[in-house]
Structure 1
Amino acid sequence: MTKVGVHLPAFGVDPSAGTAEHARHAEDVGLESVWVGDHLIPKGRPYVDSTLTLATAAAATERIRLGFGVMIVALRPVAWAAKQIASLQHLSGGRVLLGVGSGGAVHGDAAWRAVGVPYRERGARTDAALDVLPALIAGEPVKVAGEEVALSPGATVPPLLIGGGAGTLRRVARYGDEWYAAFSGPAEIAAAMGRLGGLAEEYGRPVPRLTVGVSVGLGDVPAARIDAQVRGLTEYGMDEAGARASLIVGEPAAAAERFAELAEAGAHRIIAMPFPADRLRQTELVAGVAALLR
């Protein structure tokens, strides 16, 4: 059965409810997981801290999984990142889904300059963090910056999802339990999964599973709002036609067909990223799509 999750709204997007209410609502309508982006100085909408957001969601819920979509580990000292993740695992009862990425060009380099990390080094620093992050979370001794470190209390290492496009597949194969692909169509995903299988064999690891993020606007969404979302997606390097084709809009029955195509391409989890402002209603509609997949 395909799992379905939903992104929590960025700060101020839906003033009718806060993080706790949105997370409870997603749990009440039966979704598998809630997700947050991780931004220090984002372009566009403001975001509150991802770890604190998920801790708030954890305190307000009992069952739903809590996903980083995705944590930019290279912006943090890796030991602190591991401490945050292990703490959230303990506080949530082991419900964390750890998405990790290196950050995208759309948000620029302001955050990297603010923390004194060269933007051009973000990929190498991400790999260096992934080399030690699982052991740090587990509380095992590991060398960090030449010093042996063992954090306590250690925690169960959450599933590790590596975010990014087809260019990140080697990182996915080397480190990931899953590939977190966003805004990609079934044909592109199926082709990439074929390459991922070969890379995983090269590293002697199991083929990672697939989680897909999709931009959704369900129900009666004004054309102008859809056009604005298309323009936003083009900032991530997509052309206009590709951005428009990637959107999942309309009624739940039509959206369920699109979700089923992604599942057929290999996705075991689909994360809806709603773009209309009525996010509580969007969550209900996403749950309707999930029900049609069962």
Structure 2
Amino acid sequence: MRLGLRLPQRVGTDLRHDVTEVAGAAERAGFDSVWAWERLLFPVAPRDSFTPGAPWPSAYRQAADPLTVLAAAAVVTERVRLGTSVIVAGLHQPLQLAKRFATLDQISGGRVVAGLGTGWAVDEFEAVGMAKSERGRLLDETLDVFDAAWGPDPVNYRGPHTLIDNAYVLPKPASPIPVILAGDVDVSAAGGPNARVLERIARRSDGWMPLFPTPGAAGAQKLRAAWDLIRQSAATAGRDPSEMEMIVVGNVAFSETPLDDDRIGFSGTTAQILDDIASVASAGADELILDLHLQDWWRNTRQMLDKALEIRELVSAAGI
């Protein structure tokens, strides 16, 4: 299983130096990828939350622009993939986003991974004049525009928010950009998985980017069952599921003492985090993104990087 690392973007980050330092160190240490995430703003009184009823994490107060962060990482690395985990499609004009991804792919020599999600924050959608209720359709249009803009010229496309009339759209990506979609495909949920989310991932994406909320064997079983369902649906749609990849996001929250069995995935001691990494690997994940800077444990970039390098060594030693 490949291992990726989220780059520093939050409050307390020295963007001029920390991004390039972490990207270079991650590549030298053997990480396979580096990732950036998106939060457009931090409302003082948010109208909703990713976890209903919970406050937004304090780290959300700043999330530096992900594609700009990845461009900085691109110029100091040669090998690691550069991914978004995730960009909220509906917060961007689709053609402009397609051009930004293609430009970054040219700068990096074809190393970009476009991780996209529908988003969940009403405050962010309203800030750009969009409605949260349209988020699925906005993502679908973004995928359509990517196909058109990254394809042969001249480009012709007409959609709800984009019109390309017999025009050249350059640059093109240096190589095909994998588009990985986030979304909840919980086969154990009441009523089964969200059919629209499942269909979009199976038919339109190059892979799936889930979280890992349930640790241990139970979590691995749920993750594998969902992944099997996605691949079966992709095969039914006439696609080759072996060409898709599952990239799991691990939002790490460290504890000095072991947490009980009811903990959420990637919370607890270093030993418990390593158990979760092994569980994700056993579920068939192709890659795991370690995020060590969203939680209150984070103090500064140097501390985060030291811990990331320690985990990288432990994972290698364990043969995961």
TM-score (norm 1): 0.84
Instruction: Find out whether 1:56 has 2:81 as its counterpart.
Output: no
Shift of the 53–138 alpha-carbon distance from structure 1 to 2, 3 Å rule, reads: farther
In 2, distance between residues paired with 1:13 and 1:51?
19
Name the counterpart of 2:233.
Answer: 199
Instruction: Find out whether 1:70 has 2:86 as its counterpart.
Output: yes
Residue 189 of structure 1, CA deviation:
0.7
Instruction: Find out whether 1:284 has 2:309 as its counterpart.
Output: yes
Name the counterpart of 1:25.
Answer: 25
Name the counterpart of 1:129.
Answer: 142
Structure 1 residues 130-139 or 18-27, which shifts more? 130-139
The within-5 A match list for 1:153-168 is: 153-155=171-173, 156-166=175-185, 167=194, 168=197
In 1, distance between residues paired with 2:112 and 2:237?
26
Select 1:142's aligned residue among 150, 156, 165.
156
Residue 249 of structure 1, CA deviation:
3.6
Name the counterpart of 2:319.
Answer: 293
Residue 121 of structure 1, CA deviation:
0.3
Contact 2:256 2:268 in 1 (8 A): no
Task: Show structure 2 runs of 5+ residues with no match.
Answer: 43-55, 186-193, 214-218
The within-5 A match list for 1:70-109 is: 70-104=86-120, 108-109=121-122
Residue 217 of structure 1, CA deviation:
4.5
The within-5 A match list for 1:226-265 is: 244-251=263-270, 255-265=273-283
Shift of the 165–159 alpha-carbon distance from structure 1 to 2, 3 Å rule, reads: same
In 1, distance between residues paired with 2:68 and 2:86?
14
Residue 201 of structure 1, CA deviation:
2.5
DSSP-derived class of the 1:60 partner = coil
Runs of 4+ in 1 over 3 A off after TM superposition: 13-17, 144-147, 254-257
In 2, distance between residues paired with 1:249 and 1:88?
36
DSSP-derived class of the 1:246 partner = coil
In 2, distance between residues paired with 1:6 and 1:186?
21
In 2, distance between residues paired with 1:165 and 1:285?
31
The superposition leaves residues 25-76 of structure 1 with CA deviations (integer Å, 9 ceiling, x where unpaired) of: 1112110111111121145331111110100111122221111001112211
Matched letter for residue 154 of structure 1: K
Task: Show structure 1 runs of 5+ residues with no match.
Answer: 228-239
Residue 23 of structure 1, CA deviation:
1.0
TM-score (norm 2): 0.77
Contact 2:266 2:273 in 1 (8 A): no
Shift of the 84–15 alpha-carbon distance from structure 1 to 2, 3 Å rule, reads: closer
| RMSD of equivalent CA atoms | 2.4
DSSP-derived class of the 2:86 partner = strand
Number of equivalent positions: 272
Residue 293 of structure 1, CA deviation:
2.7
Name the counterpart of 1:9.
Answer: 8
Matched letter for residue 73 of structure 1: A
Contact 1:67 1:99 in 2 (8 A): yes
Shift of the 293–142 alpha-carbon distance from structure 1 to 2, 3 Å rule, reads: farther
In 1, distance between residues paired with 2:227 and 2:146?
25
Structure number with higher helix proportion: 1
